[in-house]
Structure formats: C-alpha cells, structure tokens
Structure 1
Amino acid sequence: MPTRPERDQLPASTRPRLTLGRITDALQRHGYSFVPDDEHENSVRARFDSYPFTFMVTGEHDSLLLIRGRWDTMPGADQKLDCVRVCNHWNMERMWPKVYVRRENDEALGVYGETVMDFRFGVDDAELDHTITTALSTIITFFHNVEEEISEGDGPATR
C-alpha cells in the first residue's frame, strides 16, 4: 500500500504562495474596497451588497484562504430553528459555501457563509480571482435565500 508523504516531504511548488498581499491585490484588481482587520493580523474586511466579509490567510502553513460573510440581519434567538433549518437544507443540497448559525449574544444570532481553500502548493492570480469571485457570489446567493426564507417579523432582528 502506498504511503502518504509527510508534510515536510510535500513537493515544492513553483506557483506563488498565498499571502494577504496577494489577496488584497486580487481585491484591488476587481475594484473592491477593503480595510485592515484590527483583530486579526492576516485578514482584511470588506462589504459586498451590505454584507460584511472577512478574507483571511490561516492554517498551520498559512496556506488556507478563508472567506467568511455574515448576513446583515441578526435574527432573534427565537428564530434559531428556522435559521438552522435553512442552513441545513442549503448544506444538504450544495457542496459550498458551508453555512451555519451562531449565537452572537443572548438575543441575536449570526448567520454565516464561508469558503476555505487550501493553497499549500501555491495559487496563480487567475485561480485566486476565481476563488474570491465564486465565494462572494455563492455566499451572497445564500444570504438572498435566507432573506426569502426567514421572515424578519417573526422575532427581534437587528441590522
């Protein structure tokens, strides 16, 4: 049976490494505005269609690109079952983005979508651009779906 190579034995790549600078360059190529994230050194924040997004380089080897968006409405805690139902249905029907609900405080929930890509062997500009635009479009599509499925009138919700 073939053995898996150890992490240190992975082949070297000639493709450029993933860096926060390359992510910000890609965002600028598309004309997107962003700001540094004061809480995390390897991330920037941006808004798309009023939804807050974070772009982060993470992982043991700084090779993971995490793109996370949050629905701009924070449903009341009493809407948790509805939100979980919408997220579960989405996750069963689609491979990505991963979507989930998280309690933000005693009264409100956050509804999130995220995509994580492993670029341990490097990433070229076209692939990075495609990953960013695809993640944004699919996460925003999910948020539009949530807006159709979750009624803001069912409980306390804040924007």
Structure 2
Amino acid sequence: MSIDPSSIPNFGARPEPQPETGPAGPVIPDQDLVKQLLDQMELKYLVDDEGDLAAPWEEFRTYFMFRGEEEQRVFSVRTFYDRPHDIEQKPKILEVIDDWNRRTLWPKVYTHTHDDGTVRLIGEVQMLIGVGVSLEHFVSSTVSWVRASIEFDKWLVEQLGLEADIEADGDDKPDAED
C-alpha cells in the first residue's frame, strides 16, 4: 500500500484538480504506513523501546500507536508536551486547556501531575481502524492531528505568555557565529 503525495492536505494552497478515480477500498493502517506518511511529510521519527513510533520536536514528542486486537484496533496519536508547569499554575492551565477543548476537535488535551509536583500536558486523539478506513481519511486525519498538535503548543505559549521564557532560554544558547 502506498500513499499518493497529492493526497496529503496542503491546508491553505489551492488543490490541483485530480483525475477521477474510483474510491480505494478500506485499508487497515499499520506502523509502516505511518512511517511512509511521516517520510512524505519530511518529519524525523524513531521507534521507542516499546515499539511505538515517535516524532520528536523541541518542546514535545508525538507518538503514533496501535492498540487492541482485530475489530477493536485503535490508532492513537498522543503528544507529550515537555514544558513543565508548577503545580500552583494548574488552575490557570486547566482553564486554558478547557477553552482549547471547547473550541477545537483535536487534540483533546489533559494534564498529568508528576510526583515532584510538576504538571505536564498531553494531547490525544484516536481512530477506530479495526474494520478498515479509507486511505484518504487516514492520511488527512493523521496530517491534521499532527498540525493541530503543533498549533496547540504555539497557542499555549501565547495564552500563558511564555514567549519571554522561550526568548530567555534562547539567549543562553550560543550563536552560530561563536
């Protein structure tokens, strides 16, 4: 099974007309299909110790996981946002992510409080794939979910006023000319 590069949504540019073809039958996506899609999106990825596919960014990691058996098989895209927040910030964070969850379809975001008191965010979305899905639906959904995960991080930085923290972190890094 192969992904047609023209089937990857471009979100903003006008699509070029495609020749009329009949609909492809349902596919049951697997990790190789996701790897192919990530390659075409020019995203770096790795396979972790548990066998899950992960795409790392600077402030978060997105995992592409398959769980369940046969007709109950689920494809899950889960993003772990690495930026730690103090437990005192949790009420404000909950208010902000509730706003995100009301306004958007995906990813749905929730908090996880670690034993040391830091709060981190996790975004998640799933698709039931056990009986098969159209390739076009799988590709467009996965691409949309990845882009929405990236957009959530940008949105959160704006909502919590973290731009100054990010710029300050960048000042500690050596310049390319040094």
**Fold match (TM-score > 0.5):** yes
Q: TM-score range by the shorter chain?
A: 0.7 to 0.9
Query: Which residue number corresponds to residue 27 of structure 1?
Result: 38
Pairing 1:63–2:67 present: no
Structure 1 gap ranges (5+): 1-13
Structure 2 gap ranges (5+): 1-24, 170-178
Q: How many residues align?
A: 140
Pairing 1:139–2:152 present: no
Percent identity between the aligned chains? Answer: 22
The structure having more radius of gyration, on CA atoms, is 2
Q: How far apart, in 1, do the equivalents of 2:139 and 2:58 lie?
A: 18
Q: How far apart, in 2, do the equivalents of 1:19 and 1:127 lie?
A: 14
| Bigger RCO (CA 8 Å, 6+ sep) | 1
Q: How far apart, in 1, do the equivalents of 2:54 and 2:115 lie?
A: 22
Pairing 1:52–2:61 present: yes
Alignment of 1:1-159 (within 5 A): 14-38=25-49, 40-41=50-51, 43-48=52-57, 50-61=59-70, 63-152=73-162
- SS of 2:85 mapped into structure 1: coil
| TM-score where L is the length of structure 1 | 0.76
| TM-score where L is the length of structure 2 | 0.69
The structural deviation recorded for 1:68 is: 1.1
